[in-house]
Homo-oligomer: A and B are copies of this chain.
Amino acid sequence: MQLDDRKAQVLQAVIDDFIFTAEPVGSRTIAKKYDLGISSATIRNEMSDLEEMGYLDQLHTSSGRIPSDKAYRLYVDKLMENRTLKTHEAQDFKGVYETQLSQVGQVIYHTAKILSEITKYTSMVIAPQLNSTVIKHIQLVHVDRQLALLVISTSSGLLKDTLIAIPEGIDSDYLHRISNILNELYSGKTFDEIDVDDLKEVRSEIIRNGNIFDALIGALTENLTRSDQKKVYLEGTTKIFNFPEYQDLIRAKTFLSLLEEKDLLYAMLTSAEADGVTVSIGKENPFEELRDCSIVSATYKIGDRVLGSIGIIGPTRMEYSRTMSTMDYMAKALSQYLTSLYGK
């Protein structure tokens, strides 16, 4: 069977209505609300065909129909009107990054907050990933008699630092020498390329004065595998209670438990490396647990290097058009802001 023009119109009407009402849609509703110029009986026939084609599902014989994941996919790719932000919305976004936020963490947190407020869905944001970022300079700074700060600056302008314990009696000159060794070994490489074992080869040069070596190895390893890098900033987790399809304790609980699986969310957000806005609908999702959710995500950059992702998660019955245009705008705004702060 072919999806002719009229079928597409009916399908779009069903999807639009279902997104709006969250109730299974009947033929009479379509006939009344949408001016397609055909009777409910004809629509009934078309809907029966659409069901056969896999675009619509029926919960039970005497209920209306709801769109399948396949229908939403068609909707997102072809049917829906590609909305751009309305002027008053664009206005709202204007001031998003006007408050001074100098720490990366703050920018990320703020972004998550705003994103959730605007979209009305649960937002997820990950901080810039440094894995493929080039190390520009490494520096060991004396802070206290027994403490030094290991500072790694990167080409994207972002900085990473770790406090390390050092044996008493180490002077700045000595730290400087170690810094030079570290720079020779690692600067110009990316975080992913760092091999801690390289350090072991020059061990003798470093060990002169106690066990600073172990502290260094520790600090470096930690900077590479640091778990807070994998952190996902979530906001608006309780937004889910606003949706009728989650007015069910078990579903709500399942969803919220899902959000506690940070590894999964992280994997989800980093999987879509493509530029621009990505949509993953229901069963399209790589993870079983997310099969009745949709995820809209986008990457952000500093300069022209993709460094992280932002996204929202909600029911498959999602306002795709509005959400996607918002996501696009936010990702660009964030990129621009981060670049202005850190980009060269």
Contacts and interface: CB of A to CB of B under 8 A. Distances in A.
B256 A238 contact: yes
A252 B247 CA distance: 11
A143 B149 contact: no
Most buried by B among A164, A228, A238, A256: A238
Contacts of A249: 241, 247-249, 252
Nearest to A154: B144
A257 B238 contact: yes
**A contact residues, range:** 35 or more
Contacts of A163: 102-103, 159
Given A218-B100, A241-B249, A153 B159 contact: no
Classify the secondary structure of A's interface with B: mixed
A29 B164 CA distance: 60
Nearest to A139: B143
A141 B139 contact: yes
Contacts of A143: 137, 139, 151, 153, 159
A6 interface: no
A132 interface: no
Nearest to A344: B146
Interface string A101-126: 01101100100000000000000000
A144 B137 contact: yes
A237 B227 CA distance: 20
A253 interface: yes
Interface string A131-142: 000001101010
B149 A161 contact: yes
Interface in A227-255: 227-228, 237-238, 241, 247-249, 252-253
B162 A102 contact: yes
A256 B249 CA distance: 13
B161 A161 contact: yes
A306 interface: no
Nearest to A248: B249
A226 B163 CA distance: 20
A-B CB proximity, top 5 nearest? A241-B253, A238-B256, A141-B141, A238-B257, A143-B153
Interface of A: 100, 102-103, 105-106, 109, 136-137, 139, 141, 143-144, 147, 149, 151, 153, 157, 159, 161-164, 218-219, 222, 226-228, 237-238, 241, 247-249, 252-253, 256-257, 260
Given A141-B149, A144-B153, 18 more contacts: A100-B218, A102-B162, A102-B164, A102-B222, A103-B222, A103-B226, A103-B228, A136-B144, A137-B144, A141-B141, A143-B159, A147-B159, A149-B151, A149-B161, A237-B256, A238-B257, A241-B249, A256-B256
28 contacts: A100-B218, A102-B162, A102-B222, A103-B162, A103-B222, A103-B228, A105-B228, A109-B228, A136-B144, A137-B144, A141-B141, A141-B151, A143-B153, A144-B153, A147-B153, A147-B157, A147-B159, A149-B149, A237-B237, A238-B253, A238-B256, A238-B260, A241-B249, A248-B249, A249-B249, A249-B252, A252-B252, A256-B256
